[in-house]
């Protein structure tokens, strides 16, 4: 049996959408499950759509997610340009493979499966407007090509003259007339399309001596020995052409799987950046700043753990057939199967993304979370060496259940690291009565733990709620928040008394 080889073939036209990350993930899971290779190829033959920084962004995103390519990208996260035993098909950027494709285009012409087209853009524009005037749409196909300027209609000598003298000709695929193209998709099953509905796509352009997506894609999948093409459903309309191209070359074709779209949380349609901006969730793995200087949210910068993000994405369009929702990457590799990938689009639920993060946060050790908390504490002016990792870990143990992100820790635990510098006025109005705070202060002086404090209040038959609320106001600046015993334990008796002195002076 042939070794499984799949590829993720992004075009560097902007930041990677989370739908693209899911495509890469399913490719990766499929490869690993079958003991195969996951290859990265950069499809950058459309120079008009090239966006600087996008390629690096895409690779950095995959690496952050733990989707590690076997081929095409080196240990430093660079796209490989020179062939080696590990990267035998380099370069992996199509713009650098430019010289490869022309002969394949010409091979198809020689076989009668493609032809040279000499129509100028003005001529094509004219044909388009003429059709429009008649209420029709112009399509370059089996019918219209008979009336256009190409190697099928012009005499041989003229073709040769034009090929030599002009630099704006193209090679077009000669789409057969009225032929049923019969295809199989691993997710969608059997599909049939009549070729008469399809157009004669440009395969290669003399102007920039570059192939179009279709030719480069098929040639490279063939040369790189790709066994399965797993990609987004937006490429399904190209499948008949790709089938016919394989047939024309006489090459064995890979199997195909077209993944459904990620859909908006509410309403219909494809999940877009605009939905994210409107509802306040990221659609990109990493933060991205475009040429206009506008920055979009990223899962990484918003505080999501990559394994939580990946787990959530895996379940968008695939299910294990059981109730299990939490999967590590290795568990996903074992459990994934193409026959449980759904045909219908998957609605994205931003709340579920948060739920996943909360679950992953809970699973992490207190110590690991404490390490992640340290930079945030530092940013808030806390001397973390003085506090000590042991203490910070104790605080994390207390608060982690209340948090979704490590970024939530500071607000939840601020009152442990700093004395309140102000007090919530409505709580002051409600609870700061002399008959309550005086005994509470006495109690604080007498007791060093929360348990002792409670016992003190109970034995003297003081009003428990009122006294406790005063204490909490003094310790945290508000009458709600963390438990008093926990705060007392974590800040120590001396600090409790200091906060009391402060409060009595200020209030
Ligand atoms: N370059 C295409 C894209 O950006 C790849 C399509 C494919 O995987 O065949 O989506």
Q: What is the pLDDT of residue 1?
A: 83
What is the model's pTM?
Answer: 0.94
Mean pLDDT by 10 residues, the chain (507 residues): 96 96 98 98 93 96 98 97 98 97 98 97 93 93 94 97 97 97 98 97 97 98 98 97 98 98 92 91 96 95 98 97 97 96 96 98 98 98 97 97 97 95 95 94 95 95 94 94 93 96 94
Give the length of the chain.
507
C-alpha span between 17 and 286 (Å, rounded):
10
Q: What is residue 481's predicted lDDT score, i.e. its pLDDT? A: 87
Task: Compute the CA torsion angle 489, 494, 496, 497 (nearest 10 deg).
Answer: 150
Atom number in ligand 1 closest to CA 217: 9
Which residue lies with its CA nearest to atom 5 of ligand 1?
Answer: 9
Residue 316 confidence (pLDDT): 97
CB atoms within 10 A of CB 412: 18
Beta-carbon contacts of residue 352 (< 8 Å; ≥ 6 apart): 312
- CATH architecture of the domain 99-259 equals Alpha-Beta Complex (3.90)
For ligand 1, what atom is nearest to the CA of residue 230? Answer: 8
The closest-lying atom of ligand 1 relative to the alpha carbon of residue 10 is: 4
Q: Which of 1.10.630.10, 3.30.9.10, 1.10.10.350, 3.20.20.70 would CATH assign to domain 425-506?
A: 1.10.10.350
Question: What is the location of CATH 1.10.10.350 in the chain?
Answer: 425-506
The answer to whether residues 482 and 490 touch, using CB atoms and an 8 Å cutoff, is: no
Residue 498 C-alpha to ligand 1 middle, in angstroms?
64
| Start and end residues for every CATH 3.40.50.620 domain found in the chain | 1-87+260-363
Q: What is 1-87+260-363's CATH topology? A: Rossmann fold (3.40.50)
Whole-angstrom distance, CA of residue 195 vs CA of residue 346: 30
Which residue intervals of the chain bear CATH 3.90.800.10? 99-259
CA–centroid distance, 9 to ligand 1, in Å, is 5
Residues with CB under 6 Å of ligand 1 are 9-11, 43, 217, 229, 231, 235
């Amino acid at each position: 049996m042939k070794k499984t080889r799949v590829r993720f073939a992004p075009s560097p036209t902007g930041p990677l959408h989370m739908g693209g990350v899911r495509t890469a993930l399913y490719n990766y899971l499929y490869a690993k499950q079958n003991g195969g290779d996951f290859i990265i190829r950069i499809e950058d033959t459309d120079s008009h759509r090239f966006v600087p920084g996008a390629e690096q962004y895409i690779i950095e995103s995959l690496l952050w997610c733990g989707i590690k390519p076997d081929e095409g990208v080196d240990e430093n996260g660079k796209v490989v340009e020179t062939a080696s035993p590990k990267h035998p098909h380099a370069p992996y950027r199509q713009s650098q493979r430019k010289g490869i494709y022309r002969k394949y285009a010409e091979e198809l012409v020689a076989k009668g499966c493609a032809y040279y087209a000499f129509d100028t853009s003005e001529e094509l524009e004219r044909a388009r407007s003429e059709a429009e005037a008649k209420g029709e749409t112009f399509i370059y196909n089996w019918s219209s090509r008979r009336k256009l300027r190409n190697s099928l209609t012009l005499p041989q000598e003229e073709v040769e003259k034009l090929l030599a003298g002009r630099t704006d000709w193209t090679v077009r695929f000669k789409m057969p007339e009225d032929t049923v193209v019969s295809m199989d998709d691993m997710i969608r099953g059997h599909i049939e399309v009549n070729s008469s509905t399809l157009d004669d796509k440009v395969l290669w352009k003399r102007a920039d001596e570059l192939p179009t997506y279709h030719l480069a894609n098929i040639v490279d999948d063939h040369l790189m020995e790709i066994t399965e093409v797993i990609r987004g459903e937006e490429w399904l309309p190209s499948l008949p052409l790709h089938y016919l191209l394989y047939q024309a070359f006489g090459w064995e074709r890979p199997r195909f799987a077209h993944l459904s779209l990620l859909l908006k949380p509410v309403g219909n349609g494809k999940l877009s950046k605009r939905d994210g901006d409107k509802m306040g969730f990221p659609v990109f793995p990493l933060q991205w700043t475009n040429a206009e200087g506008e920055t979009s949210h990223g899962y990484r910068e918003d505080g999501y753990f990559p394994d939580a993000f990946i787990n959530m994405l895996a379940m968008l369009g695939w299910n294990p057939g059981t109730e299990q929702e939490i999967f590590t990457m290795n568990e996903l590799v074992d459990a994934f199967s193409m026959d449980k990938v759904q045909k219908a689009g998957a609605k994205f639920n931003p709340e579920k993304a948060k739920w996943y993060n909360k679950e992953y946060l809970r699973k992490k050790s207190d110590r690991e979370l404490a390490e992640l908390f340290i930079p945030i504490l530092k940013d808030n002016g806390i001397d973390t060496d003085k506090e000590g990792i042991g203490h910070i870990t104790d605080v994390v143990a207390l608060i982690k259940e209340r948090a979704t992100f490590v970024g939530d820790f500071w607000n939840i635990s601020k009152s442990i690291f700093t004395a309140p510098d102000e007090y919530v006025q409505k709580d002051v109005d409600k609870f700061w009565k002399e008959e309550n705070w005086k005994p509470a202060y006495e109690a604080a002086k007498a007791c060093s733990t929360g348990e002792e404090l409670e016992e003190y209040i109970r034995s003297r038959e003081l009003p428990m709620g009122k006294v406790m609320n005063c204490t909490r106001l003094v310790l945290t600046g508000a009458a709600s928040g963390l438990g008093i015993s926990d705060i007392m334990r974590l800040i120590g008796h001396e600090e409790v008394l200091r906060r009391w002195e402060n409060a009595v002076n200020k209030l």
